[in-house]
Every structure is written in C-alpha cells, then in structure tokens.
Structure 1
Amino acid sequence: MKKIEDNDTLGLIVIVKANKHQIKQSVKKLYDIDVVKVSTLIKPDDEKKAYV
C-alpha cells in the first residue's frame, strides 16, 4: 500500500486476457493521463491486477 501512495500508482482489476499494452491504452483513454509503467500479476483465484 505504501508503494501505491508514494509513487502515485493506480491499482486496477482487469480481465486475464488483457496485456500490458492494452491496459496502458485503456487507462490513457479513460483517465487522460500518461502511463509510465504497467505491472501485472495474476492472483490464485484467477483475478488479474494491474498497477499503473
């Protein structure tokens, strides 16, 4: 949680089939911000999280 607050990181739950490029384009379109980096992880319960 500290990383999210200190680095202005946005945490999102996305569909498992989405790749980093698709996530970056969607966030840029929806929130009108420049995305520097996208990190993803797939949780054991088949949920994918993206940190932008």
Structure 2
Amino acid sequence: METSIEKRVAELENLVFLSKNVLSFDEASKFLNLSKSYLYKLTSGNLIP
C-alpha cells in the first residue's frame, strides 16, 4: 500500500511542477534532476537562463 501512496505523491508533485510558470532554484534542480552546484554552474555561465 505504501508503494501506491508514494507513487500517487510523486505523480502529484509532477503535476505541481508542470502547473507552475516559474520554479524556485531547488524545484528546478529536482525537476531537471541536476545537482544544485551543476545548475548554478550552468546559470552562472549563461548556458541556461
């Protein structure tokens, strides 16, 4: 039963991400599955906005 609940929570989290226009840095890191340090490197190098 926990697996089912965990799966539903994950699906709801994905829906929340998709419904937002702007993500926080932490949310973007989770959404893109990138470490915060790598995401910072990309943004500081103007490789992504």
Normalised by the shorter chain, which TM-score bucket? under 0.3
- Compare CA radii of gyration and give the structure with the larger one: 2
> Higher RCO, 1 or 2 (CA under 8 Å, sep at least 6)?
1
TM-score when scaled to structure 1?
A: 0.27
